[in-house]
Amino acid sequence: MTAGQAIATKDLTLSYGDTIIINELDLEIPKGEITVFIGGNGCGKSTLLRSIARLLKPKSGAVLLEGEAVAKLSTKDVARKMAILPQSPSAPEGLTVLQLVKQGRYPYQTWLKQWSTEDELKVRNALKATGMEELKDRTVDSLSGGQRQRAWIAMTLAQDTDTILLDEPTTYLDMTHQIEILDLLFELNEKEKRTIVMVLHDLNLACRYAHNIVAIKDQKVFAQGKPEHVINCGLVKNVFGMECEVTIDPLFGTPLCIPYGKGRCILKGQGL
Amino acid sequence: MKKYYNLRLFGDKISFLVNRKALITFLLLAAASAGVFVISTGTGEMKISPLKVVQVFFGGGSDMDRLIIQSFRLPRIIVALMVGMALAAAGGILQGIIRNPLASPDIIGITGGASVAVVGFLAFFSDKNNALTVSINWMPLAAFAGAAILAFLVYFLAYKDGVSPIRLVLIGIGLASLMKALTTLMMVFGPIYQASQANIWITGTVYGSNWDKVAMLVPWTLMFLVMAFILARNVNIQELGDDIAMGVGSTVQKYRFLLLMVSTALIGGAVAFGGGIGFVGLMAPHMARRMVGSAFGALLPASALIGGILVMAADLIGRTLFSPLEIPAGVFTASIGAPYFIYLLFKTRNA
């Protein structure tokens, strides 16, 4: 299914001050698939995503978007090819869903041309795809967490890019809404062949929705590939430092990770 | 009725999504501004009916009416309108780029810089008899310079790979306190006459406006208001945070600098001729937000008009309520604005 790569990094080194986060990383992200970054807290998966989205300047090395160095492209050109939804974004009080989604058209607008026929079409499609049509005149702050996240996703869709990056799009959502958001993203990938790259915390959901998993550890990619191929006890132990059993998700046949730990055995003074 | 309609000219080259409610509100506000303008012009020692005022505007009216209106009242009211519009628009921009509803020209120290400059001006250029050794006409320049220098200082000190909103506001608050301390220090050390003179300026008044000032302030303010309106969509995107703004391809730092300069220019002009009129820059944008929503294309013009109305009304009350005593307009901006502001908050508390 892979038709080349959407994004690649070359010798990419990222740092905050003197602390190296990602070291000389060569990574290829396939086009038209869902790629999920996993790893422990602070392993640099969000940093890597931000750097791919050019929100963070690399210390050295480069990010390539469809073969071209992102740093050499104009930021508006990049914005027409790649959208990013950062972690828990916030909208100003009183902003309506329509006004928010419309902002996704920024890279196509000028100060006199702020609502072209195409803008209208793309915004309408984005609202439709996310099921937000009915809610478009509501203010973002009046929505539930799941609806709010859908509104933000609609904004990135309005940007009309082949690639969408999302940093933990399910954070702070309850289980129902987590599934709802991931289903939506999966559907977008299936129907419109958009490349989706995201950071997820929930390993099992990552296995269920990803075509391609990138496990990050010690400033490097520890493993990359189909969830069925890369997720096993050894990997989880290495990447997360956690003992677990890996079995098969009875619904989807994808790997399902069940962590050890003490749980109720604490009461009996013994652990598994 | 549809909430929006599409304005499209020349095959999309000029295209806007117009919020019908915001447009209607804007027109009502424009009418209200015109109303306050006319009423204020007609009110004072000598009452002139609104009809006669309008006649004078169109070149008619009696000689007496013309003299009063053109020589005494108009310059002052025009200055009040400009000062209010400038402060309110600048406050709106600052709230947008700092992403904090509490931001205003006074909070981030720009007005404070002007205060220090004015108090310093009065202290350095006064002789033993409290007479100024240079023309008072230089005072607006001092105020403007003070505002501009402080804005640059805030920007410079906040700079670290570009400026972040939080650094901007913290440095601003720090400098604002410092400016306040300096102002007080100079007022305490100086003679009492100067202190009271300075105090009137700090409170904010459009007393002593004349056509020369109008000729300077009007083009300046209008030019930067237009720039602010052109930049409105960049405020919109900055309000969503730097990551989103950069993600959609905005050059965040460039526009933040530009927007800060535009608001400084507006504030500088306003404090130069209106003194440190407070509260308008904080409150007008909030009132506008309650009326027309959060999109800056609508919010900025609405905010500007509300600011103009507030300062014109405050000046009208200030010069008539205790006549012949003149109360600086700055005293009343809060007292007429705050109750309405609280009412709006109260009314929309569940919205």
Give B76-123 as a 3 state SS string: HHHHHHHHHHHHHHHHHHHHHHHCCCCCCCCCCCHHHHHHHHHHHHHH
Domain membership flag for residue B340: yes
Domain membership flag for residue B166: yes
pLDDT at residue number B1: 54
For residue B150, the enclosing domain spans: 75-347
For chain A, say whether B239 makes contact (Cβ under 8 Å).
yes
ipTM of the prediction: 0.89
DSSP B233: H
Name residue A178's amino acid: Q
Which residues of chain A does B243 touch, with a Cβ-Cβ cutoff of 8 Å?
50, 55, 84, 86, 89
Domain membership flag for residue B10: no
- Radius of gyration for the alpha carbons in chain B, expressed in angstroms and rounded: 21
Average pLDDT, stretch A240-247?
92
For chain A, say whether B166 makes contact (Cβ under 8 Å).
no
Counting the structural domains of chain B, the total is 1
Q: Do residues A38 and A239 touch, judged by C-beta distance below 8 A?
A: yes
Which residues of chain A does B251 touch, with a Cβ-Cβ cutoff of 8 Å?
75
Low-confidence ranges of chain B (pLDDT < 50): none
Q: Do residues B15 and B23 touch, judged by C-beta distance below 8 A?
A: no
pLDDT at residue number A123: 94
Q: How confident is the prediction for chain A on average, in pLDDT?
A: 91
Q: What is the pTM of this model?
A: 0.90
Domain membership flag for residue B235: yes
pLDDT at residue number A2: 44
Domain membership flag for residue B255: yes
pLDDT of A269 > 80? The answer is: no
Nearest CA in chain B to A93: B294
Average pLDDT, stretch A80-94?
91
Q: What are A1-34's pLDDT values in tens digits?
A: 445 888 999 999 999 888 999 999 999 999 999 9
pLDDT at residue number B299: 94
Domain membership flag for residue B272: yes
For chain A, say whether B28 makes contact (Cβ under 8 Å).
no
pLDDT at residue number B223: 96
Q: What are A155-199's pLDDT values in tens digits?
A: 999 999 999 999 999 988 889 989 999 999 999 999 989 999 999
Give the torsion sign (CA, A75, A79, A81, A87). positive
Higher pLDDT, A265 or B86: B86
Which residues of chain A does B246 touch, with a Cβ-Cβ cutoff of 8 Å?
53-55, 75
pLDDT of A271 > 60? The answer is: no
| CATH assignment at residue B301 | 1.10.3470.10
- Radius of gyration for the alpha carbons in chain A, expressed in angstroms and rounded: 20
Name residue A113's amino acid: K
* Contact check, Cβ <8 Å, B14/A113: yes
Domain membership flag for residue B280: yes
Question: For testing the chain B interface, which of A78, A105, A113, A163 should be mutated: the one with the most B CBs within 10 Å?
Answer: A113
Domain A5-268 indexed as CATH 3.40.50.300: yes
* Contact check, Cβ <8 Å, A117/B8: yes
Name the band, by pLDDT with cuts 50, 70 and 90, for residue A272: low
